Structure 1
Amino acid sequence: MPDVPAITDYDARPLDGRVVLVTGGAQGIGRGIAQAVLGAGGRVLIGDLDREAGRACLDAWRVGERAAFVPLDVAREASVQRWVQAALERFGRIDGLVNNAGIAEPHRAPLASLALADWNRYLATNLTGTFLCSKHALPALAEAGGAIVNIASTRALQSEPDTEAYAASKGGMLAFTHALAVSAGPAVRVNAILPGWIAVDGWKKPGERRTPKLSRKDHAQHPAGRVGMPQDIGALAVYLLSPQSGFVTGQRFVVDGGMTVKMQYV
């Protein structure tokens, strides 16, 4: 009869030495994830359209060669190719990719008046961007035995009026997640995080940073007792990027303080 495995120490720095790429990593949830990666011992390349925000991150973090910023437009394949190549030239490997960049405003217009250009812009940024970054990072991720984390939204599961373009793009990310998990496995694991209400006001670039204005009622809508913060998403992202989640792939994880399971009556 074989022995039960012995107790092993918990790895408090599960991304030590690993390289993680984060799209839209200069502000909001993306910045929260990038900082969590650094806190877990990893190295990070953030990509963002906002150059000022990207430079501000590096100035604030002061982690030297462990972090870098390269401008990125996830909707343009040439930009994605340059970004991935920059990561390989700087760090020599890619262990993780977080597809976070996207249009954050879910409301656009009633469907009958929604412009095709607006519909296409949501899909190009939120969904096609996820495809392009995954496509070009996948060879290096497979070589490293890495992981992809797609940042979708609870709006892939529930909706408000006039959010069809946003919901469709985030719902597409869920389908893309489980499809790629099957195609890329076992070399690369692929999972999705679905954030709920996350207050990002304090995680923007210095000129736009504000203290979140949240009421008691805002917090009370959540069984967890509060609105979410970017570090709540970062904590799960670190787990999904690390070897600690080696038996987890093709899954979606709702991080919303319990809001989507609470019955709402008016």
Structure 2
Amino acid sequence: MIYADKTVIVTGAGRGIGRAVAAAYAAEGAKVVLAELDADLGQEAAEKIIAAGGHAEFVPCDVSREEEIVALVAHTANEYGTVDILINNAGISNPHSAGFYELSADVWDKVLNTNARSVFLATREAAKFMRKNPDGGAVVNLSSTRSLMSEPNTEAYAASKGAISALTHAMAVTLGKDGITVNCISPGWIETGDYNELREIDHKQHPAGRVGKPEDIARACLYLTAPENNFITGAQLVIDGGMTRKMIYEP
């Protein structure tokens, strides 16, 4: 259990990918801090990990607010002595039903601040402690295949995910001298609802033959943050069952 002496922060850990990532690290012996805006979901996720024999703590956090990110990281370092791994997972989609012409600056700012600015702020704060560790630290940012391709009326979300991808290589170069790796994962269709309700066509359209699961992303996080994989930094790992490599033309 190579994570037995590691402290891990996972943002947006109350549901979906974040919850699976937190559980995966806890199962490998890590002390996991689950940062989540929804208190009920965050506490439930932490309690489930604890019931399974893992070490978890829920800390409420709105990642769109700088002061709450600073407090989250400071609390983790004070409670556990340091921060070893940060998984920047928290994010929102376009919280509106209007199209391109109705997208307001306020909504744009909310999406960019929650999704992209939070990645910079959380990494900045965590790196202050990681650089003091004998073996540095590791950061994984959750981007999206939407940083590479789009559907209509997703400008704010696409911009935020593109920013995360660019921030990843920028921070990797900056923090390399401090022994900190920074990578990002760009998931495609990862089903966080009832997997059994998916249609056959949903699976068959993927070259891999199935829709993704949160655990697919969790395993990638474990890989990217393993100490022996510290030669991997500034990378963007697309995990989408091959969809972004598939040429699709309408008949």
- Normalising by structure 2, we get a TM-score of 0.93
Equivalent residues of 1:15, 1:238 under 8 A apart: no
Deviations 1:187-220 (A, max 9, x none): 110000000000111xxxxxxxx55521000001
SS in 1 for 2:197: coil
- Counterpart Cα distance in 1 of 2:196 and 2:130: 37
Assess, with a 3 A threshold, how the Cα gap between structure 1 residues 211 and 228 changes in structure 2: closer, same or farther.
closer
Runs of 4+ with deviation above 4 angstroms: 105-108
CA RMSD of aligned residues (A): 1.6
- Per the alignment, residue 230 of structure 1 pairs with 214
- Per the alignment, residue 137 of structure 1 pairs with 126
1:179 to 164, 167, 170: 170
Q: Any gaps of 5 or more consecutive residues in structure 1? A: 1-12, 202-209
- Counterpart Cα distance in 1 of 2:187 and 2:97: 20
- Per the alignment, residue 161 of structure 1 pairs with 152
Assess, with a 3 A threshold, how the Cα gap between structure 1 residues 27 and 53 changes in structure 2: closer, same or farther.
same
Deviations 1:141-177 (A, max 9, x none): 1122001100000000001111111000000001100
- Per the alignment, residue 102 of structure 1 pairs with 91
Equivalent residues of 1:106, 1:166 under 8 A apart: no
- Per the alignment, residue 188 of structure 2 pairs with 196
Equivalent residues of 2:14, 2:45 under 8 A apart: yes
Question: Which protein has the larger Cα radius of gyration, Structure 1 or Structure 2?
Answer: 1
- Per the alignment, residue 77 of structure 1 pairs with 66
- Matched to 1:126, the amino acid is N
Q: How many residues align structurally?
A: 246
- Matched to 1:171, the amino acid is G
2:142 to 151, 154, 157: 151
Q: Any gaps of 5 or more consecutive residues in structure 2? A: none
Establish whether residue 44 from structure 1 lines up as the match of residue 44 from structure 2: no
Question: Is the deviation greater in 85-94 or in 58-67?
Answer: 58-67
Deviations 1:82-133 (A, max 9, x none): 1111111221111000110000458753222111111111101001111111
Q: State the identity as a percent.
A: 44
Which of the pair has the greater relative contact order for Cα pairs under 8 Å at 6+ separation? Answer: 1
Assess, with a 3 A threshold, how the Cα gap between structure 1 residues 91 and 69 changes in structure 2: closer, same or farther.
same
SS in 2 for 1:143: coil
Assess, with a 3 A threshold, how the Cα gap between structure 1 residues 155 and 222 changes in structure 2: closer, same or farther.
same
- Matched to 2:131, the amino acid is A
SS in 1 for 2:139: strand
- Counterpart Cα distance in 1 of 2:244 and 2:2: 30
Instruction: Give, in angstroms, the shift of residue 180 of structure 1.
Output: 0.4
- Counterpart Cα distance in 2 of 1:107 and 1:254: 27
2:200 to 201, 204, 216: 216
